[in-house]
Structure 1
Amino acid sequence: MTWRPLPTGEFTGIDWSAPGAIDGMDPYLAWAEADGFLGYHIPGREPVPIKWMPIVIGLREGVDVRQLVDATSTQWLRIPLAYLLVPGLRHCSARVSREFFRHWRNQPALRDLIKRFELGLPVEQLPLGLTEFCTPHCRPQPPRQRVRGSVLGVIDGGLAIANAAFLDARGHTRVRHFWRQDNFYGGRWPGSPDNRRVPLDPRRAGPRPADMGYGHELDREAIDRVRAEFTRRGQVDEEAVYQYVQLWDLSHPVNHGTHVTGLATAPGGLLNPGLDDAASRSAIVAVQLDWANVLDTSGGAMNVSVLDGLMYIVSRCADDADIVANVSWGTLAGPHDGSSLLEAAMDELVDKLGGRLRITLPGGNGYQSRTHANATLAPGESLPLHWRIQPDDHTQSFLEIWLPDGAEGVSLSVAPPDRPEQAVTLRQGQSGMWTDAQGQPLWSLIYPTRSALGERGTCALLVLECTASREADHPLAPCGVWTVTLRNRGRSAVVFDAYVERDDIALGLHTGGRQSYLEDRFYDTQGNLNGWVDQPGNPTPIRRSGVFNSLSTGQRTVSVGGTRVADNGPQNLSRFARYSPQRPDPGPARAQRPDVKLVPETLAACDDNPALWGVRATGSLSGSTVRLAGTSSSAPKEARRLLNSLG
């Protein structure tokens, strides 16, 4: 391997190795350009050239989306029309061309408007272009037939829109609006017959929503019409409905989004006989995430897709509607202090709607996953972290190290497995990558003085290529234990957090991902009675406390931890689902970076008991029930409680 500076980006034109180039930027964008977006395309296909890159933009104080639109050109920046329907927003998604980055580099006036931006997920599955978008001085009108009253908003994957659990008393669907964010199917998607890209038919999947500019939309009338068309002898052929509207993934008996929506709004039925609450009568506005989101559990597209989904839900509701939006999704890395772009955007949207919008999110499922380290470095002290990268991992691995303001004296050293002579040590403001004999990047360390990923301190990103691939020429990083050593060369103590990003496999998919994790000889993996929570006297830097869904640490959103319906034994062992963050935190004595979130706002059951994990809820077909575990089931229960509180 050869150590090299980061290259000049082919899309952005940014010389990432120039002094100060990485400061204040998204390190994932720098890495994506270094490896030619290799981690974002589908194996076995030729990469499709990127013409429009999805990003999320955060504007400076006193600047809103209208001002950004009027000061720029649609030739190189395009924003969905929905972002102008809520006056004064400082956050939006956008599609940008190469010209955007040229203007951003050369025009101080543009940089004075934009505080920071983050890369979305530029894979060929995600619709990168927008058919309609904001233009200078345009005045978009709200859509017709907006929903009034109490509304459940759902952003998820696999939403069974024809399920009888989502009908009203007259037999009409309560799904008033349904937006699927994909424009076509193909590749490794659920139900996909082969590797072809097949555009969706708007006559079947629904027209493109003009205010979003991509995807396909069905309203209540269209859903009822298709259900009626495939009704025989009073029975709806739901399989035929989904074949017709091109939702092939719903042929699976279990779908995450259907289970979640059922917990939030399904009536009693077999699971809860006699249940007839306000939530079971509420209207539903549903967003089905593009399957690119589901495939990439690291959350690479979450910022754009979730923010667009929230704007869609808000735009389909009347100005006096009360909205409870549930997003049962999440990632592990991030600042964990509410300052990520998506969290800041969600907080702003809740504020702008004056309390009419509430957003529920899961606390996370990684409590035992060894993906978090936290410690205090005294002046002159060093601490090694041991990061286990698994063999046969077909996806990239990411480790974020978060440092507070005033930590300029902390250096980072990275040593690959069994190769101490190839260790690299960097200080803030430095970056680089190791390449193979063909010049292809194998791993990179990007250590800016400040980061677009958060507003406090900075984030150093260590990223590794996959360790296995079916493509003969794909660069591979070494598997084994990577040693990352933090050394405090400053004069004051520094608290740091390290987060391994999520890399597991979502329900029903096969991406080849394998979750990496941290190792330490003091960390208790024996499964003893007291071994499922942090013990105050244990010196290990690996902490369960602080393993938290990085979408759920905002100030205005509601995070929900997971408990058990029935328990026995000591409360700290039996009350909580083992994978969930706890409330209160079992080990609160450790020093923390400012405003880091450790405990959820509230709790709801997601396991039946210590032996029977998960809870039952709605299956894909009417009348079926399935069991899923995870705090993804806790969040919609809180959404249901909030809906019922509205009356």
Structure 2
Amino acid sequence: MLNWYKDTPADVIDPIMAFRLEIVARSGVTEQWWSAILELEDLSLKDLLENARNAGLEGTVIIPNLYSDEDRDREEIQYPTVYATSAFLNAANIRDNPLGVKRLLCGTIVPDAVLDFGAGRWPAALPNILVPDGSVVTAVIDNGIAFAHELFRKTDPTKSRVAFAWIMDADPSASAGTVPVSQGRALANDEIDMLLANNTAAGLLDEDTFYHQAGLIDFAWPGVKQAALRVSHGTHVMGLAAGSEPGTVDDTNPIICVQLPTDVTMDVSGADLLPSLALATVFIKKMAKRFRYQSDPGKRVPLVVNFSYGNFAGPHDGTGIVEKMLDRKFRPLPNRERQLALPAGNGNLARSHARVRLEPPGDEGDEVELHWRLPPDDLTASYVEIWMPCVEDPDNLVEVTVEPAGGPESDPVTTTAGSMQVLETDQNLVVGRLWYAFQPSPTDRGLITVSAAPTFSHDNPADVAPSGVWKIRIRNLNLTPVDSVEVWVRRDETLPGFPRFGRQSYFDNDCYDRFNAFGAPLPIDPPGSTCVVRRAGTLSGFACGERPAVLAGFVESSGELAIYSAAGPITTACGASHPTRTGPDAAAVSDDTRVLHGILSAGSRNGSLVALNGTSVAAPQAARWMAGRLAGGLSGNRVAVNAKGAADDPGFVPPPKPALPRVGGGRMDRIVRFGPNRKA
């Protein structure tokens, strides 16, 4: 039996983080280190540690060794990743906290075994690495990167183009290495070359031994070994971004790769992923800064980064902590050419987004009911984010109630501070929460969060939320008919290649037309549809910033946009006159044909090619094109990508160019092809 009760919560910044920490605390897990990304404004990392000491939290937060003394003294808007205990995170999650943390996102528990807090702190300046003129550094952040594939090696098979490889979940005690890191193990080019030489005989590489010694595949070490599978996401993506036949770009296209921990890539909600992403960008920027031209050592080599992950959640207006972090790290600076490619996301048909416009209170249409379906056997918590519009007075805009499957309806939660309802079982176990929290600048909008515990548990079958349809009712109090309430389901399904863990929840309203008259999935919202559940506006929350080039995917043989490729528009940020983007900047090939899904790129083993699809394979092709442009001294930013799509698109008629929010400038010609032409 379930029942709701009213609670008066602390004035927190992130209700979802508070719910996650509570679930872990009651699970009996002993205190461990969490990764977290912080937003600091005019506060140095040294000041943060001092504030923690003054608040009685000394020793509850650790700064990774990648941050030099110079980094720790810097006072500006910054987004550092830290390792912290739940005590620090709970204190930092209180609005106007004495620690000086403006916003934060909680990552995941980081096993003690992969941490090395004794790793030496990096100096402010690292030795230069000289490369030929016309060189470009390509960096890939992903998982399961089999970096010894021949597409990443030179003419000499014992020499690698990979300049640095950081395996964030490797055993740090396996080797001291020349690149000290606080988490996992990082390899420099000379170490990689030595491993290649030691494990190559008669021109053939013993890949099993190589990856075991590198720390990438060690079955005595916890975690999923995706690079041991035939198909690995990171290898495929890096092949598209920077893979080349040995001897073609041996010295002019060095590679930096960062393998994210497998436990964070299993959780595709993004919350666990983001601190590792932020730390990866610090590593890449510092290492890329070392590359200089032989003819002009004072000039830095351009950098192109590909990050082929997406998410559903966030404000979708460019003000989220991840979007702001990426915009800041890749902002234009003199003598520093840095570009970033991101996928548009694969959530077009996920039924993860609803746009709600309500009639005035008391009129017909002043209330909307969303049917949120929680699947059974879901081992992860599920969340819905209900974002308010930008208004001068954010109080009492709407009231929201939730009726769980087989349970009672909650009392209303309104957009006023301290409004919360808690769902518990007859054993006093909290399995759901409805919570309002105003999100600080630069977002400046209210957020009502619906949280649900996993629908299955191996440890305590009573400590679960009911599966089935949860009814979320949103009733107007003070909104005008033109104000939009934007609602997103957070992503949490398990990615292919990983053990089944999460199952994706979604909106299941009857008004949503899934198929056309012939039974094919509808890729766009039907004309004239009034259903609140929309395909429009499903662009990845990561991809709403101003700087990155964002890529949709299309089918090469037909020219049609892939049915899964997410679309804009996005929300206009508070105080802005227009949104940061209308949708993707362009589209690249993500499927060879309607039948032969995906495109070919590097498999996990030498000599192998495998097919993967999704906008994750569109983005690295654009990254490759951007690198080629920068090598020639031309612009390689999102504007150039948009122009490339616009120039190439006329070659794909018919069908006609898709709508702007789905395709941006247009469809780009095929950038790279490995193996046979499967569309021929």
Relative to the length of structure 2, the TM-score reads 0.79
| Cα distance between partner residues in 2 of 1:163 and 1:72 | 46
Q: What are the within-5 Å matches in structure 2 for residues 371-410 of structure 1?
A: 371-380=352-361, 381-406=366-391, 407-408=394-395, 409-410=397-398
Work out whether residues 343 and 615 of structure 2, in 8 Å CA contact, stay in contact via their aligned partners in 1: yes
Aligned CA distance change for structure 1 residues 105 and 225 (closer, same or farther; 3 Å): closer
1:596 deviates by 7.3
Query: Contact 1:279/1:640 (CA < 8 Å) preserved in 2?
Result: no
Deviates more, 1:29-38 or 1:432-441: 29-38
- The CA deviation at 1:339 is 1.2
The one of 477, 481, 490 aligned to 1:489: 477
Deviation of 1:109 (Å): 8.6
CA distance in structure 1 between the aligned counterparts of 2:89 and 2:228, rounded to whole angstroms: 43
Residue 225 to residue 610, structure 1, CA distance change in 2 (3 Å): same
Closer, same or farther in 2 for the Cα pair 1:416/1:606, shift >3 Å? same
Deviations 1:441-474 (A, max 9, x none): 111112113368x713122211111112222445
Question: 87, 96, 115: which one pairs with 2:102?
Answer: 115
Is the CA contact 2:540–2:566 (under 8 Å) kept in the aligned structure 1? Answer: no
Residue type of the partner of 2:412? T
Q: Residue type matched to 1:433 in 2?
A: V
Give the drift of 1:54: 2.3
TM alignment of 1:17-32, pairs within 5 A:
17-18=8-9, 21-23=10-12, 25-32=13-20
Aligned equivalent of 2:267: 296
Residue in structure 1 matching 2:583, options 599, 613, 618: 599
Q: Residues of 2 paired with 1:222 and 1:580: CA distance?
A: 40
Residues 265, 281 of structure 1: 8 Å contact kept: no
Task: Name the structure 2 match of 1:476.
Answer: 464
The aligned runs of 1:39-438 (5 Å cut-off) are 47-50=29-32, 52-60=33-41, 62-65=42-45, 68=48, 73=53, 75-84=59-68, 88=76, 90-97=78-85, 100=88, 110=98, 113-122=100-109, 124=111, 127=114, 130-132=117-119, 140-144=123-127, 146=129, 149-171=135-157, 172-184=159-171, 201-203=173-175, 207=177, 209-210=179-180, 212-248=181-217, 249=225, 250-267=227-244, 276=248, 281-318=252-289, 320-351=300-331, 353-354=333-334, 355-380=336-361, 381-406=366-391, 407-408=394-395, 409-419=397-407, 421-428=408-415, 429=417, 430-438=419-427
Is the 8 Å Cα contact of residues 402 and 471 (structure 2) preserved in structure 1? yes
Residue 551 to residue 626, structure 1, CA distance change in 2 (3 Å):
same
Letter in 1 for 2:124: Q
Which of 604, 617, 628 aligns to 1:633? It is 617
Deviations 1:486-539 (A, max 9, x none): 111115333111111112221211133211111222211124468321123001
Give the conservation status (yes or no) of the 8 Å contact 2:167–2:215: no
Alignment coverage as a number of residue pairs: 584
Matching of residue 614 in structure 1 with residue 598 in structure 2: yes
Contact 1:279/1:644 (CA < 8 Å) preserved in 2?
A: no
Q: Relative to structure 1, is the Cα distance of residues 100 and 502 closer, same or farther in structure 2, using a 3 angstrom cutoff?
A: closer
Partner secondary structure for residue 316 of structure 1: helix
For each residue in 1:113-134, what CA deviation from the matched residue of structure 2 results, as whole angstroms up to 9, or x when unmatched? Answer: 4322221212548956743587
Seen in structure 2, the aligned counterparts of structure 1 residues 554 and 442 have a Cα distance that, compared at 3 Å, is same
* Residue type at the aligned position of 1:346: L
CA contact (8 A) 2:165 2:186 kept: yes
Matched, 1:447 2:436: yes
Distance 1:393 1:336, change over 3 A: same
Alignment partner, residue 189 of structure 1:
none
Shift of residue 582, structure 1, vs aligned partner = 4.7
Cα 1:109/1:425, change in 2 over 3 Å: closer
Q: What is the distance in 1 between the residues matched to 2:531 and 2:577?
A: 18
Greater Cα shift, 403-412 or 523-532 = 523-532
Corresponding residue number in structure 2 for 1:575? 560
Q: Which AA in structure 1 matches 2:504? A: Q
Contact 1:231 1:237 in 2 (8 A): yes
1:23-61 Cα distance to aligned partner (Å, 9 max, x none): 5x11122112332356xx8xxxx72422x332211122x
Residue identity in the other structure for 1:202: A
CA distance in 2, matches of 1:358, 1:300: 24
The DSSP-based 3-state class of the residue aligned with 1:346 is: helix
Q: Tell me by how many angstroms 1:610 deviates.
A: 2.2
Give how far 1:202 is off: 2.2
Q: Secondary structure at the match of 1:417?
A: coil
Asked if the contact 1:326–1:635 (Cα under 8 Å) also holds between the matched residues in 2, the reply is yes
- 1:505 corresponds, among 494, 497, 504, to 494
Instruction: Give the 3 Å change call, closer, same or farther, for CA 115–614 of structure 1 in structure 2.
Output: same
Distance in 1 separating the partners of 2:305 and 2:546: 16
The AA in structure 2 aligned to 1:283 is P
Structure 1 window deviating more from structure 2 (94-103 vs 243-252): it is 94-103
SS at match of 1:462: strand
Report the Cα offset of residue 140 of structure 1: 3.2
1:317 shift after superposition: 1.7
What letter corresponds to residue 261 of structure 1 in structure 2? M
Structure 2 distance, partners of 1:324, 1:37, is 40
Supply the distance in 2 between the matched residues of 1:577 and 1:413 (Cα, whole angstroms).
Answer: 36
Alignment RMSD (CA, Å): 3.1
Task: Give SS of 1:94's match.
Answer: strand
Secondary structure of residue in 1 paired with 2:208: helix
Query: Counterpart of 1:640 in structure 2: which amino acid?
Result: R
Residue identity over aligned pairs, in percent, reads 26
C-alpha displacement at 1:403, in angstroms?
1.0
Equivalence for 1:187: none
Are 1:644 and 2:635 an aligned pair?
no
Deviation at 1:601, TM superposition (A): 1.6
**Alpha-carbon distance in 2 for matches of 1:523, 1:423:** 26
Query: Residues 280 and 609 from structure 1, CA distance in 2 versus in 1: closer, same or farther, beyond 3 angstroms?
Result: farther
Corresponding residue number in structure 1 for 2:647: none
Does structure 2 retain, via aligned residues, the 8 Å contact 1:390–1:467?
yes
TM-score (structure 1 length as normaliser): 0.83
2:231 maps to a residue whose letter is V
Cα 1:125–1:616 shift into 2, 3 Å = farther
What letter is aligned with 1:58?
E
For 1:499 and 1:57, locate their aligned partners in 2 and report how far apart those are by CA, in whole Å: 23
Using the alignment, how far apart are the partners of 1:27 and 1:432 within structure 2? Answer: 12
Secondary structure in structure 1 of the residue aligned to 2:435: strand
Following superposition, the deviation at residue 106 of structure 1 comes to 10
Question: Whole-Å Cα distance in 1 between the matches of residues 581 and 360 of structure 2?
Answer: 26
